[in-house]
A and B are shown apart, each in its own frame.
Chain A
Amino acid sequence: MTLIRRTVLGMIAATALAPAAMAQDTIKVGEINHYKRMAAFAEPYKKGIELALSEINADGGVLGKPLEFVFRDDQGDPAEAVKIAEELMTREGAVMFTGTILSHVGLALSSFAAEKGYLYLASEPLADSLVWNSGNPWTFRLRASTWVQAAMLAEEAAKTDAITYATIAPNYAYGQDAVNAFKENLQRLKPEVEFVAEQWPALFNIDAGAEVQAIERAKPDAIYNVTFGSDLAKLVREGGDRGLFDGRSVYGLLTGEPEYLEPLGDEAPEGWYVTGFPWYAFDEGTPAGTFVAAYEAATGETPKIGSLVGYMTAQSIAAAINTAGSTDGDAIRQAFEDLTVDDTPIGALTYRAIDNQSTLGAWVGTTAVEDGKGVMVDWEYKDPAPYMPSDEDITAMRPAE
């Protein structure tokens, strides 16, 4: 028995000593993600980062040193993510950390970052509270938030005659936020709108037939969809078969992202107004088109929106470190406030000092099927600024700094 205890103790000591002795000739950034649990989303994201790193380091790196990302898997567990963040910062010598797709893991890291004075760039998590209700000076966020993307769809919905709406969203915080944001924005623009059904399937465990029947029963004029992944595929299939979408306008949050649209193949829904990422339609020579070409050349795959986010994450961090002129966490943090990152795929990107949110917007458009594949047509890129709450509202929401 005691033998075992010694072994365990020895093992702790061994883990403690093993990776510590690495030489500090690169600038390290910790990247914590759910590489296994959310493999479909995390893999393109990682490839995006690797592409950006190869370009940054070919240009001489940052502050004259190569930039390096240390990738770690947190199993989608917030407690594990916090532990890994601590290890990256105290032992691996990372200057800051980034990553996560799931919002709750992002929130755990954000709280940890603020407590310890570490810098965290939340790349993919969408929760509004990350920069607003639970915002803190040490957390910055890249992707456009749920609120902004839902507001873009609500604006389009307000232009139609539809009065009664049904919503369907996965039964967790993201789904609820997305529905509330859509409701608030739509009812502000068009007060007579009525929500006649709200469906809450379990995430990745939808009972699509029953959900479709329940929505049909409410006979709404229009439908707002927040489901994604395998839930979306089942909903589209059952809904299509049972004629749920016939004669109704449908608004889909994230539905146009290649992650979710591509697996649907020729069964992709047509005529939905969605947010997404129409990489196939970018002109050659534009910043976005150049990114797509470089990504395809480097990986042999077509990009997902995760690829773009990963790419811009690495670009943002490199720009912040260069601006800071040092690898001190607080210096990088100050550099991030009102930081402008030039030459990203969407042009210049700014991190707003008021809420640490980037100005990355979203692509909106209508879905169609072309050559047996789901695509977005009549799309446009929308800047997030008009859809943000007012500066006073944001200041009121954010805890005092």
Chain B
Amino acid sequence: MAFFLAQFLTGLANAAALFLVASGLSLIFGVTRIVNFAHGSFYMLGAFIGITLMDILPGHVGFWGAILLTGLAVGVIGALTEMIVLRPIYRAPELFQLVATFGVILVIQDLALMIWGAEDKLGPRAPGLRGVWRIFGEPVPKYDIVLIAITPFILFALWYLITKTRLGILVRAATQDREMVGALGVNQAWLFTGVFALGSALAGLGGALQLPKGGADLLMDFNIIGEVFVVVVIGGMGSLPGAFIAAVLISVLNVFGVTYLPQSTLVLMYVVMAIVLIIRPWGILGREEAAGEHGQVGSPERPIRPYGPKGIALTSAFVLALALVPLFAEQFVLTLIVDMIVFALFAASLHFILGTGGLVSFGHAAFFGGGAYAAALLVFHTGTPMELAFLFAPLAAGLLALAIGWFCIRLSGVYFAMLTLAFSQLVWSLAFQWRDVTRGDDGLVNIWPAEWLNAPAPFYYFTLILGTGGIIFLRHVIHSPFGYALRAGRDSPRQAEAMGIDVKRVQYAAFCLAGIMAGLAGGIFVFSKGSVFPTVLEIGESFDALIVVFLGGVKTLAGGVVGAGFMTGVEDWLTRLEYWRLLLGLVIISVVILMPEGIVGTLSTLWRKIRHTDEETIR
């Protein structure tokens, strides 16, 4: 019994920092609707700034003073980030801002490396709180008890702020209907900045508070972000008490998981999230999202139409040009273009459900990696000929999409996104931990194409035909009746239902088709690299695709493809430089600010302006 209690206390202590960070993220999302991936970076900044301040300020007052100052400092950094990076793009399409926050992550990573160096830093001890107290004979670190004692005060302070103050009233009002708050004369810009600063400050506080239990290192931003999102989603986006309950739930379950199922450390929280979302689609204390709440922002978009003869001619010329490349280019250029086509197909498949279907998936890598693994497993274990194994890639990915989609499709918005993320993490952990079959992160190696394809030029044509074929096929589907039904479901589910379209079934079918196409890309990928590792199933892979779709332009047809080409090219250039993450982050942020409709969207708007043909008025 004493042991259980001690375990429970460990869980509660872990929940403290987690709750702080999660509450900040939840606040920011609730009011600004920004899915802030840079939140983990503010947590990391909090840890580094905290250590620096604790070095300067000695003693009890210094330690606790340093934590408060850290919160302030990170709050200021958050406010600046919001004003410089996010304020210009609030009117961009839904979720576009997450791309900007991704740029912020890269920038902060390199800045932290420049300022604090590469070596891990051990956190200072809280003065007077080294060692343990014994509770029923079980040792419990003193600092754990202090953390457990502090958390209710923080929860109470936040609760008071939200329910009893004018700022809190505005925040709640904005969470429910931000346009109305604006219409009532509240300066939304400063409200958003204030909330963003508060949320960042909470993350910074969390980073500083955990120092005596850990330290600061350059990987902690990515390490916490997954957990924080899980907590916020389980609790219900925007709900503070929900975040608290979820933080405690996850932390305590983790502690028991460590003891009774030690192998479960990688996936436990995602399993919990999947179960919660399947039972309660809006988290424990979240509420259903009102339709259209964060749907259309800005002017209504122009309907997408197939290319005219000119467009078709130019596209054909471009593909023809690509077909001629092997005649004059060196080998590496072919490899680079193969990489681009594979990535473009992967991005186009995501773009298909995201742009046309309005389904934001955070777990699309499950199908790309799933396809790659399906083919690789066949070759590795049974020596299946490449041609057959390759066909298996889209097939397996499609089946996987059929299974995952069955659970996910009933959800919408961010909850749909997070459930796909949870499932892709499950697939990842399967590849990672089922070593007898997948060899874990030793990966499957020596997966090379069949003899007749195993040279740069043949494989290039193989990729070109399947890749561009897949992309063109997806575009045809968009212009088919099925594509129109899908778009109708995205723009107005109720009207679509009234017209007799089974919106969910159409979305389900689109989800599977996107999975098949991602699997096809994965199949080409595995034979072009000769090996596959669980990295292709990681969250980062899903986000790469998401980011290029947004960068290219969600509401355009070519967004995914152009974004993928742009990103592959820019990365290939920048990674040659020392501080490439900083530069890449700045490139992403500037594209986002300068081209809020994405590269293609902004350029085509510009083009129409130059030619003075405002087609919307004609229609």
- CB within 8 Å of B: which A73-102 residues: 73, 75-80, 82-83, 86-87, 90-91
A171-B433, A207-B14, A263-B120 given as contacts; is B213 within 8 A of A238 (CB)? yes
- Measured CB to CB, the nearest residue on chain A to B372 is A79
- Measured CB to CB, the nearest residue on chain B to A177 is B442
A78 touches B218 (CB 8 A): no
A210 touches B258 (CB 8 A): yes
Question: Of B11, B113, B139, B530, which one neighbours A115 at CB under 8 angstroms?
Answer: B530
B442 touches A173 (CB 8 A): yes
Indicate if A103 sits at the interface (CB-CB under 8 A): yes
Indicate if B109 sits at the interface (CB-CB under 8 A): yes
A86 touches B535 (CB 8 A): no
A1-B603, A104-B535 given as contacts; is B445 within 8 A of A15 (CB)? no
Given the complex, which residues of A lie within 8 Å of B218, measured CB to CB?
39-40
Question: Of A72, A230, A241, which one neighbours B120 at CB under 8 angstroms?
Answer: A230
Q: How far is the CB of B348 from chain A (nearest CB, A)?
A: 14
A83 touches B122 (CB 8 A): no
Question: Of A108, A201, A263, which one neighbours B443 at CB under 8 angstroms?
Answer: A108
Indicate if B475 sits at the interface (CB-CB under 8 A): no
A204 touches B219 (CB 8 A): yes
A230 touches B445 (CB 8 A): no
Indicate if B507 sits at the interface (CB-CB under 8 A): no
B265 touches A207 (CB 8 A): yes
B262 touches A242 (CB 8 A): no
Q: How far is the CB of B379 from chain A (nearest CB, A)?
A: 12
Question: Of B311, B315, B530, which one neighbours A111 at CB under 8 angstroms?
Answer: B530
Which size class do B's interface residues fall under?
Answer: 35 or more
A112-B531, A207-B254 given as contacts; is B118 within 8 A of A43 (CB)? yes
CA distance A83 to B334 in the complex (A): 11
Given the complex, which residues of A lie within 8 Å of B442, measured CB to CB?
103-104, 107, 127, 129, 134, 173
Indicate if A3 sits at the interface (CB-CB under 8 A): yes
Indicate if B482 sits at the interface (CB-CB under 8 A): no
Indicate if B202 sits at the interface (CB-CB under 8 A): no
Q: How many residues of A contact B (CB 8 A)?
A: 78
A217 touches B265 (CB 8 A): no
- CB within 8 Å of A: which B561-584 residues: 562, 565-566, 569, 572-573, 575-576, 580-581
CA distance A162 to B115 in the complex (A): 46
- Measured CB to CB, the nearest residue on chain B to A78 is B533
Indicate if A190 sits at the interface (CB-CB under 8 A): no
B113 touches A39 (CB 8 A): yes
Question: Of A12, A173, A263, which one neighbours B333 at CB under 8 angstroms?
Answer: A12
Q: How far is the CB of A169 from chain B (nearest CB, A)?
A: 10
A265 touches B122 (CB 8 A): yes
A40 touches B10 (CB 8 A): no
Question: Of B255, B332, B534, B558, which one neighbours A209 at CB under 8 angstroms?
Answer: B255
- Measured CB to CB, the nearest residue on chain B to A232 is B120
A104 touches B443 (CB 8 A): yes
Question: Of A37, A83, A115, A199, which one neighbours B339 at CB under 8 angstroms?
Answer: A83
Given the complex, which residues of B lie within 8 Å of A230, measured CB to CB?
120, 214-215, 217, 219-220
Question: Of A3, A8, A237, A243, which one neighbours B569 at CB under 8 angstroms?
Answer: A8
A176 touches B440 (CB 8 A): yes
CA distance A241 to B13 in the complex (A): 15
| Interface residues as binary, A111-149 with B (CB distance below 8 Å gives 1, 0 otherwise) | 110110000000000010100001000000000000000
Indicate if A221 sits at the interface (CB-CB under 8 A): no
| Interface residues as binary, A191-211 with B (CB distance below 8 Å gives 1, 0 otherwise) | 000000111111011011111
Chain A CB within 10 A, most for which of B321, B448, B576: B576
Given the complex, which residues of B lie within 8 Å of A199, measured CB to CB?
258, 262
CA distance A370 to B598 in the complex (A): 58
B330 touches A90 (CB 8 A): yes
B580 touches A241 (CB 8 A): no
Indicate if A184 sits at the interface (CB-CB under 8 A): no
Indicate if A226 sits at the interface (CB-CB under 8 A): no
A213 touches B604 (CB 8 A): no
CA distance A233 to B47 in the complex (A): 15
Given the complex, which residues of B lie within 8 Å of A72, measured CB to CB?
575-576
B573 touches A15 (CB 8 A): yes
Indicate if B99 sits at the interface (CB-CB under 8 A): no
- Measured CB to CB, the nearest residue on chain A to B218 is A39
B441 touches A211 (CB 8 A): no
- Measured CB to CB, the nearest residue on chain A to B212 is A237
CA distance A200 to B266 in the complex (A): 9
Question: Of B109, B440, B531, which one neighbours A82 at CB under 8 angstroms?
Answer: B531
Indicate if A5 sits at the interface (CB-CB under 8 A): yes
| Interface residues as binary, A296-310 with B (CB distance below 8 Å gives 1, 0 otherwise) | 000000000000000
A2-B314, A265-B122 given as contacts; is B255 within 8 A of A83 (CB)? no
- CB within 8 Å of A: which B584-619 residues: 599-600, 603-604
Question: Of A9, A37, A202, A214, which one neighbours B266 at CB under 8 angstroms?
Answer: A202
CA distance A214 to B14 in the complex (A): 16
Chain A CB within 10 A, most for which of B219, B255, B263, B445: B445
Chain B CB within 10 A, most for which of A72, A86, A217: A86
Chain A CB within 10 A, most for which of B122, B254, B337, B581: B122
Given the complex, which residues of B lie within 8 Å of A111, measured CB to CB?
445-446, 530-531
Indicate if B185 sits at the interface (CB-CB under 8 A): no
A263 touches B122 (CB 8 A): yes
Indicate if B294 sits at the interface (CB-CB under 8 A): no
A263 touches B265 (CB 8 A): no
Question: Of A36, A103, A127, A229, which one neighbours B217 at CB under 8 angstroms?
Answer: A229
Q: How far is the CB of B120 from chain A (nearest CB, A)?
A: 5
Given the complex, which residues of B lie within 8 Å of A12, measured CB to CB?
333, 336-337, 340, 569
Given the complex, which residues of A lie within 8 Å of B566, measured CB to CB?
4, 8
CA distance A139 to B111 in the complex (A): 36
- Measured CB to CB, the nearest residue on chain B to A84 is B575
A15 touches B575 (CB 8 A): no
A241 touches B331 (CB 8 A): no
Indicate if B525 sits at the interface (CB-CB under 8 A): yes
Chain A CB within 10 A, most for which of B217, B223, B258, B558: B258
A selection of 20 A-B contacts at a CB cut-off of 8 Å is: A1-B603, A2-B314, A36-B109, A36-B580, A36-B581, A40-B217, A40-B218, A72-B576, A75-B575, A83-B336, A104-B533, A104-B534, A108-B443, A111-B446, A115-B446, A127-B442, A209-B213, A217-B3, A241-B132, A242-B132
- Closest 4 pairs between A and B when the two form their complex, measured CB to CB: A39-B118, A111-B445, A210-B258, A210-B255
Inter-chain pairs besides A4-B558, A12-B337, A213-B259, 20 sampled, C-beta below 8 Å: A1-B600, A1-B604, A3-B603, A4-B600, A12-B333, A40-B120, A78-B535, A86-B332, A87-B332, A108-B443, A115-B530, A134-B445, A172-B432, A197-B262, A200-B263, A201-B265, A210-B258, A229-B217, A233-B120, A241-B132
